[in-house]
Chains A and B, each alone.
Chain A
Amino acid sequence: MTAMALEHCDLLIVGAGPAGMAAAVAAGPSGASIAVIDDNPVPGGQIWRDGPGASLPAAARTWRDALERHANVRVCSGTRVVAAPARNELLLEDAERGWRMRWNKLILCTGARELLLPFPGWTLPGVTGAGGLQALIKAGLPVEGERIVIAGSGPLLLAAAATARAAGAKVVRVAEQASFAAVAGFAASLLRWPGKAAQAVTLADPQYRTSSRIVSAQGGAQVDSVRLLQGGREEEIACERIACGFGLMPNTQLGRMLGCALTPTEAGAQALAVDARQATSLPDIHAAGECTGFGGSERALAQGTIAGYAAIGNKHAAKQHEAGRARWDAFAAQLHRSFALSPDIRRMPRPDTLVCRCEDVPFSALVDCSGWTDAKLHRRCGMGACQGRVCGDAAQFLFGWMPPAPRPPLSPARIATLAGLAGHDDVDRQ
């Protein structure tokens, strides 16, 4: 058996969304050898996800072009982090191979995932996340003629509605759980961020309702209707698809596995803690973008730029982007205040509603558990393929359980890749 390949780079960036792209572009002119890895097929992250159903904004193309101009930047798409087998080293896997990557500096730009919360019927085919629907449509999912209901919280609902409508779907309702006063307050605050206000106008939707939340999805083999609660009154709407998103959770798994310290965000989630230079609690590891708390692409670009400069030791250039970052930090704070989740959302699951979709664990099996580890050991909650990414977030929201730091493998991996966890010499001897 031949030893697993070991590669080196000066700077490794995990994530090719806005933060990762900006970090690579800032660090690029230094001439350092830079590798950017990302688990999606092309750079851009979720917000600038490309595909046959996507219409990429100009900014996305500009950043992608900038990334391509640097010969010392290598982008590895379709690549996941499996483990951290040694100090300053990650074990990676793509569709073809597994390999070890040694780095001098690391920037974590691992983004965020949607907070997906259980309600009766949420496992039916036809139910997706709100951002999930956007991503699927951009990647070519046909939705023409489908009646779609979008529910949950935050501006992402309107963005998802716009994407669905542009793809030929009939968006029959957008149900926002926040009150009219909260949403109106948010809209008024956008005067401080004119670009966002202009964007909001393009997303205005006649089917938008506030103080409205999902009760259940109905259907046999797939969704055929949704029940919504609107100001104390329940109504049922026929539809083929339901997209639900309740905000975003920072993707901190890799940072936690490496030992980076966390900090609570205003939205109640945990994010990677960073200082003014985007440095984490560990030497040589920076973090930027949504993994440090969600706040949109502009904030991610500013943070990524600072992290990129800081990682190559250009403190002066890093400092020049701090004002831009502060402006978008304020926007993020406003967003979190306006779309805070109502305690009613915790009442969505019924006793038989599955919380863990991988192991089919119902809500009733979890209510008496003392915490995440108890639920995992005795109810198998979080023991499936998603490793608690979905139900762990849900359980944190529903019960206040904080999952412990993840252990390798960070994502399901092939045995041949896991063989790379053995020491280099061990593999050689086999």
Chain B
Amino acid sequence: MSVPTLLLQIDGQPVRVKAGSSVAAALRLAGGMGVARTSVTGQPRAPFCGMGVCQECRVLIDGRRRLACQAVCTEGLRVETSE
């Protein structure tokens, strides 16, 4: 039996993930180590604490700023990285 999956978009690119995955997991599947944003001096940053504390994984999800580690993927979600 295959695991149910769903499709979302990260910066316009389609990414398929297992149902129930966090957006942080989807960022990693989109390539690299899951860079979510750049720091104030322009360094790439990826999910760090994994539990909603560090704010390093904040992205725009359907136009709203949310934490990728605490957001669960849904079909057709649009995620935008960087800020």
Contact = CB atoms under 8 A, between A and B. Distances in A.
A125 B34 contact: yes
Contacts of B26: 140
Interface residues of A, number: 45
| Chain B, interface SS category | loop
Given A51-B22, A95-B66, A129 B55 contact: no
Interface stretch (A130-138, A187-195, A263-271): A130-138
B45 A136 contact: no
| Chain A, interface SS category | loop
Contact of B25 (A132, A134, A142, A384): A142
B25 to A, nearest CB: 4
Nearest to A385: B55
Nearest to B65: A412
A360 B24 contact: no
B48 A46 contact: no
A123 B49 contact: no
Nearest to A243: B50
Contact of A139 (B22, B29, B54, B55): B22
A390 B35 contact: no
Interface of B: 3, 17-22, 24-26, 28-29, 32-35, 39-41, 43-56, 58, 64-66, 69-72
20 contacts: A39-B70, A40-B52, A40-B70, A51-B20, A51-B22, A52-B20, A95-B71, A114-B49, A116-B48, A125-B44, A131-B50, A131-B51, A136-B50, A140-B17, A140-B18, A141-B22, A223-B33, A384-B55, A389-B54, A412-B65
Interface of A: 39-41, 46, 50-53, 78, 95, 113-114, 116, 123, 125-129, 131-136, 139-142, 221-223, 240-241, 357-360, 384-386, 389-390, 412, 414
